[in-house]
Amino acid sequence: MQLFKTVVVLIALTIIVFKTVSAQNFQAHSSTQEPSVLVTLETLERWEDELSNWGRWGPQDQKGTLNLITPEKARQAAALVQEGETVTLQHFVTLEQSLDSQTFGPTEHRMSRLDPVTGEPTFALDEIQFSLHDGMLSHVDALCHYRKEIDGQYVIFNGYPQNLTATGCVDLAIDRMGTSYVTRGVLVDIPLMRGVEWLDPSTPIYVSDLEAWEEFAGVKISSGDALFVRTGRWAKRDAEGPWRYGQGGAGLHASVLPWLRERDVAILIGDAVNDVQPSGVEGIGRPIHQLTQVNLGLPLVDNGYLKDVAEVAARLQRWEFMTSIQINPIPGGTASPFNALATF
């Protein structure tokens, strides 16, 4: 009888959780269907060729648009440092179990030298395990992370076959993309421009918004820049708690893709998944991810921590800064923690 009561309670709790999760039923923003910005699968198929950077830096290239971060670009970025004030652009994993963490695997942190009898630590050594694509981790996606199918074969940027092994990607893995970059960072803070703390879930960001920001902030996004697009994900989370931002999150709309190619952005950093969710493009969930990584060779950073940099930029009234990026060269890795700083 006790077992029966326990099962009944567990079923009831499961139903409550299911109803709570199901209540988060996100719909594509209605504006994504307006003719001026509407993107279809046919549009994306055409852009695969029109926006392609395949072969631009040679047939053996594995860095994509990171090639646009030249020594001259680094020198220009260094000249932006005036106050010497530095903030982090990284959010690291936590042990919190929530809707937006540990979705691709568990996060565990433990001391690694324990007394076999007492279980107490005997030395100051520890180890940590986490997913490189964790929802709480700022991470750079390797260019092997997304693929497309050509004549029955999966291919990745620059025409490489997507060759996966038990230890990772053979080509375009994170360790093939360079380890350190310094370039000009430009923050686009759409919530600030609109006078809100954050954008509501599923709010799309269009080219018109990006160019309105350029006028608002007095900056122009140019070749080799690191483009930071803030939606306010972390501010919303701090105020209201976690939600399924990967299903209902503000972000760039697919119509921005030609603009990203035209401006030759070197690396794109969002504070959520970069793509507005739902995407508003019928038949594909993350078109920004798909075309930037496979066709443009433009690395993306998901879950960038843009809260502190936004506060400093607003106080200084400067939205361009030097950004320094370190990539952990994980052999065959599909991503790396985004270890980066903004210096004003």
Say which residue, 9 or 176, is predicted with more confidence.
Answer: 176
Residue 111 falls within a domain, yes or no? no
Q: Stretch 86-98: mean pLDDT, rounded?
A: 96
pLDDT at 121 over 80: yes
DSSP classification of residue 68: G
Give the CATH number of the domain where residue 307 resides: 3.50.30.50
Residue with tokens 């004549």: 151
Domain that holds residue 68: 27-99+133-343
CA-based nearest residue to 142, from 9, 276, 336, 328: 336
Q: Stretch 90-98: mean pLDDT, rounded?
A: 96
Split at pLDDT 50, 70, 90, the class of 178 is very high
Split at pLDDT 50, 70, 90, the class of 1 is very low
Residue 115 falls within a domain, yes or no? no
pLDDT at 168 over 50: yes
pLDDT by residue (tens digit) across 133-163?
A: 999 999 999 999 999 999 999 999 999 999 9
- Which of 14-18, 213-217, 228-232 has the weakest average pLDDT? 14-18
CA-based nearest residue to 203, from 269, 150, 278: 278
Residue 16 falls within a domain, yes or no? no
pLDDT by residue (tens digit) across 25-78?
A: 899 999 999 999 999 999 999 999 999 999 999 999 999 999 999 999 999 999
Whether residue 26 contacts residue 247, with contact meaning beta carbons closer than 8 Å, is answered with: yes
Q: Mean pLDDT across the chain, nearest whole number?
A: 93
How many separate domains does the chain show?
1
Q: Which pLDDT score is estimated for 104?
A: 94
Residue 1 falls within a domain, yes or no? no
Q: Which pLDDT score is estimated for 213?
A: 98
- State the pTM of this model: 0.92
Q: Which pLDDT score is estimated for 24?
A: 66
Q: Which pLDDT score is estimated for 7?
A: 32
Cis peptide before 121 (omega within 30 of 0): no
pLDDT at 182 over 70: yes
Residue 22 falls within a domain, yes or no? no
Residue 18 falls within a domain, yes or no? no
Residue with tokens 């994306």: 44
pLDDT at 113 over 70: yes
H helices within the chain, ranges in order? 2-22, 41-50, 71-78, 190-194, 207-217, 233-240, 257-263, 287-291, 307-316
Q: Which pLDDT score is estimated for 13?
A: 32
Q: Which pLDDT score is estimated for 20?
A: 37
Three-state DSSP state, 126: strand
Q: Which pLDDT score is estimated for 16?
A: 33
Whole-number Å distance between alpha carbons of 231 and 188 = 9
Residue 118 falls within a domain, yes or no? no
Residue 21 falls within a domain, yes or no? no
Structure tokens at 279: 């995407």
Q: Which pLDDT score is estimated for 294?
A: 98
- b/e sequence 49-79, b meaning 16+ C-beta within 10 Å: eebbbbeebeeebbbbbbbbbeeebbebbee
pLDDT by residue (tens digit) across 5-36?
A: 333 333 333 333 333 333 468 999 999 999 99
